[in-house]
């Protein structure tokens, strides 16, 4: 008798530009993350109620938060349930660095909001990530320089093509 067994793949690798100790320290220094990290049981609401909105939102996500090696992650599961990934809960102090790298990287390619958001969410999560990525991308000045030729035109003393440069 054969039995089908469902297996979920959980992928975690340290592909961050910081050591796990640096990440742990930054998470513990972040006032929104600290109350939700380091404990194996969910804090009582009374302990969180006086905290800011970000802390409360992390508290609401408790069932998807995982502490591994002293570092807090949020689990993400694919739509079909075939794979699961832990995304680093990113401290506020590291957000600009991640957005800059994600947006300018070869895989990011200065893409607009949705592509940058998708690339960011592959590895990271933080409160208001969608709003932060959108604000970051909208604030970037993308320079587009180029040139093209126009023609052929009837031959004149200056030639038959026009070179167009734009910035």
Reported as a single tens digit per residue, the pLDDT across 96-149 is: 999 888 877 645 445 578 888 888 998 999 999 999 999 988 876 555 666 777
- The whole-model pTM stands at 0.69
Residue 137 three-state SS: helix
CB half-sphere exposure, 88, CA atoms < 13 A: 26
CATH number belonging to the domain at 20-146, selected among 1.10.1040.10, 3.20.20.70, 1.10.3720.10, 1.10.340.70 = 1.10.340.70
pLDDT digits (tens, 9 = 90+) for 9-29: 555 454 567 888 899 999 999
**137 near 112, Cβ under 8 Å?**
yes
- Spell out the domain ranges in the chain: 20-146
Residue 11 three-state SS: strand
């Amino acid at each position: 008798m054969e039995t089908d067994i469902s297996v979920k793949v959980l992928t975690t690798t340290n592909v961050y530009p910081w050591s796990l100790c640096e990440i742990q320290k930054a998470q513990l220094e972040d006032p929104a993350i600290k109350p939700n990290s380091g404990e194996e049981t969910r804090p009582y609401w009374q302990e969180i109620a006086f905290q800011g909105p970000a802390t409360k939102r992390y508290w609401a996500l408790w069932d998807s938060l995982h502490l591994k090696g002293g570092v807090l992650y949020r689990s993400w599961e694919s739509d079909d349930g075939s794979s699961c990934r832990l995304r680093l809960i990113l401290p506020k102090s590291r957000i600009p660095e991640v957005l800059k790298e994600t947006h300018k990287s070869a895989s990011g390619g200065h893409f607009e909001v949705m592509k940058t958001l998708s690339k960011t969410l592959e590895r990271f999560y933080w409160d208001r990530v969608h709003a932060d990525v959108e604000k970051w991308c909208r604030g970037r000045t993308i320079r587009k320089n180029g040139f093209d030729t126009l023609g052929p035109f009837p031959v004149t003393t200056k030639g038959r093509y026009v070179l167009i440069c734009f910035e």
